[in-house]
Amino acid sequence: MTESHYSLTELMTVAAAREIQDGEVVFAGTGLPMLGAMLAQHTHAPDCCIIFEAGTIASQLAHLPMSVGDPRALHGAALAAGLFEVFDYMLQAGKVDVGFLSGAQIDRFGNINSTSIGPYPGQPKVRFSGSGGACDIACLAKRTVIIARHERRRFPQRVDYITSPGWLRGDNSRMKSGLVRGGPSVVVTTMGVLRFHPETKRLFLASYHPGLTARDVARNTSFRLDIQSATQTPTPSSEELHILRDLVDPERVFLR
């Protein structure tokens, strides 16, 4: 049963959660990725293993953490370690199935810029925080899920700077560069869900959110976006919304 009243954040969270499969190791960050991972753990993926950058491995979250370093992230965890263990024993060892990422710009091949707008390291117009652990996740996770606000300026033909590599120049360029594992699988935005063509690795529109059209999404994308096969994004079920609102984030820390 679907629910007719839901927020955009709830719709995006549900779309992201549905990308997680049972038994997978999930590298989740603060905010919507946490919501999605918790929702998946409460529904179709009870045995997914959630890990956080601060060092928590295999959390069984009872309360939503405010950040990856929040003590609430330790609830039911198999191990309370540190950055080294998460990035070395889990990520570099190839044990992370899916990692969540975001950024200021995402291009048609899923390359992410979270470094600067404009020439870098010359005279950037805007300077951002940089990679953090995002580049490691983009290079070493088996696949990545990208979360982004959908605006023309955020989806350029080419990013100003590749902070976290996606499919680089498309086709097999990622593997040729030495990145033999992973790559982005989906981009969940405020307007729809975009996926990558299996051969060219170019983004195409898989679905547009209710109230929008495929052309709306295309008009808000700087590069040419294939919309031919797009359908409407499936809406959240009553059960998913109940779990999100009453169990995952009852205090509306991140839900809007």
Structure tokens at 202: 């170019």
CA distances from 56 to 49, 75, 249 (A): 10, 9, 20
Buried-exposed string 1-27: b where 16+ CB fall within 10 A, e elsewhere: eeeeebeebbbbbbbbbbbbeeebbbb
Query: Which has the closest alpha carbon to 157: 203, 226, 222, 227?
Result: 222
Structure tokens at 34: 């946490």
Structure tokens at 173: 């360029």
Q: Is 53 part of the annotated catalytic residue set?
A: yes
Pairing mode, strands 56-59 and 49-51 = antiparallel
φ and ψ of 100, to 5 deg: -100, 135
The helix or strand, by DSSP H or E, that contains position 201, with its residue range, turns out to be none
| Strand, helix or coil for residue 223 | coil
Please tell me which residue in 19, 53, 151, 240 is annotated as part of the active site: 53
Q: Which residues lie closer than 8 Å to 169 by C-beta, 6 or more apart? A: 109
110: left (phi over 0), alpha (psi -120 to 50) or beta: left
Which positions are catalytic?
53
